[in-house]
Amino acid sequence: MEQTKTIAPEYHGHPNYLLVFIALVVLFGVSLAFGALPNHTLAITLIFILALAKAYLVAGFFMHLHYESWVLIALPGIAILMAIIFFGLVYPDITIVPLIHAEL
């Protein structure tokens, strides 16, 4: 009888969840501080950039995508690309429309 070999996935250990959590809390605090900036457009831009960084931390470490093959990274990558497109399409409504209403 022929034996089949099973290939065990390479064990990468556990990420330092506490360190990732602390980084998420710090980034959250920084995004709250950016909300107090007098330049509304700059504040929104920086908050969106931090949101993408936080999404990377969650997807990469809590969902273990940091250790997976490129195929499993490409699937959430498409979702992240769609989120960037969404932010790009919503961004003018957030930044320009309040300025137009303020002039009226």
Q: How confident is the model at residue 22 (pLDDT cuts 50, 70, 90)?
A: very high
Q: pLDDT tens, 37-85?
A: 999 889 988 998 999 899 888 887 777 666 667 776 677 778 888 988 9
| Domain residue ranges of the chain, discontinuous segments joined by + | 17-103
Ramachandran quadrant class, 37 (left: phi over 0; alpha: psi -120 to 50; beta: rest): beta
DSSP 35-81: TT-S-HHHHHHHHHHHHHHHHHHIIIIIS-GGGS-HHHHHHHHHHHH
Written as six digits, the tokens of 99 are 């300025």
